[in-house]
Amino acid sequence: MPDSLGFLDAVGGLPEQLADAHRSARDALDGISLPSAQDIDNVAVLGMGGSGIAGDVLAAVANATLPVPVVVLKQIRTPRFIGPRTLAFAVSYSGDTDETLRMAAGALDAGARVVAVSRGGELESMARAPAASLPALTIAFELRTASLLGYRPRLDACANCGNPLSPERLFSPARGGLVCDGCAAEGGTVRLSADALAGLSLLLSRPVGEAGEYLEVKRSGEILRVVEAFLKHQFQRFQGLKSLELLRSLAPETPELVA
């Protein structure tokens, strides 16, 4: 059988490819400090498809010699063992693989050190974002995931009946968005400030990676309250986001219940 794709040569060149990759990785890590072995309990590689295979190779090569386990995760949810003593590598060539972005956001939320390996996309935006913008990014990721699953908060007309919205900016976590005066009379709504509503609209329409640029921490607290109340209603098992304790403390104790 003819080897029209030059497969044999490619396989034969594997040692050179590995040496090349090793050199590139060294150059990329130049000037970056990774935590020392005493400071971590595990290494997690977050990646789907071919990016996940990079993790499989690392685990196969390193498990016999590394003092901590290497775990490859090809899923959406972040396991409970991921925490501040985890060194995580989020790998996505495009930088836009949803599962990987979701796991990276979860790992950041759990306090893990996350190294992004990517050519660009939202994973790169996330990696380059200043620490102060991480709360905004986390909220944006949560909303995006909810939208992908078909739970996008409705802001253009009453989320319950489709009628024109109440001018009071009344948000119903249970109905899944803003509501009209008639549906608001049934109770359970939160009055949004004009600022919070503007922020929420931006979160839903702009790329996730830019969230830190337009969402200020001081007005994130109110949005966080509403988004978490919304997610709790849509997803029974939603637990809230650990990294956002600070924002929670900036928001009023309880959302202003109108009715």
At 78, the amino acid letter reads: T
CA 253, 105, 25, 97 torsion-angle sign? negative
Nearest to 59 by CA among 73, 50, 69: 69
Choose the stretch contacting Zn ion; rule: CB under 5 A; options: 11-19, 90-98, 156-164, 251-259. 156-164
Work out which of 42, 160, 166, 172 binds Zn ion, going by CB under 5 A: 160
Looking at beta carbons only, is 68 or 157 nearer to Zn ion?
A: 157
Looking at beta carbons only, is 87 or 180 nearer to Zn ion?
A: 180
Strands 170-172 and 190-191, by their bridges, are antiparallel
State the nearest-atom distance from the C-beta of 181 to Zn ion, in Å.
Answer: 8
Binders in 176-215 for Zn ion, by CB under 5 A:
180, 183
Q: Under DSSP, is residue 91 helix (H, G, I), strand (E, B) or coil?
A: strand
Q: What x-and-dash track marks residues 58-97 binding Zn ion by CB under 5 A?
A: ----------------------------------------
State the nearest-atom distance from the C-beta of 175 to Zn ion, in Å.
Answer: 8
Q: How many CB atoms lie within 10 A of CB 124?
A: 18
Please count the residues of the chain: 259
> If binding is defined by CB under 5 A, does position 161 make contact with Zn ion?
yes
Work out which of 82, 104, 123, 158 binds Zn ion, going by CB under 5 A: 158
At 55, the amino acid letter reads: G
Looking at beta carbons only, is 183 or 244 nearer to Zn ion?
A: 183
CA 237, 241, 246, 250 torsion-angle sign? negative
State the nearest-atom distance from the C-beta of 257 to Zn ion, in Å.
Answer: 18
Adjacency order of strands within the sheet including 86-92: 70-73, 42-46, 86-92, 113-118
Looking at beta carbons only, is 117 or 183 nearer to Zn ion?
A: 183
Q: Where on the chain is the footprint of Zn ion (CB under 5 A)?
A: 158, 160-161, 163, 180, 183
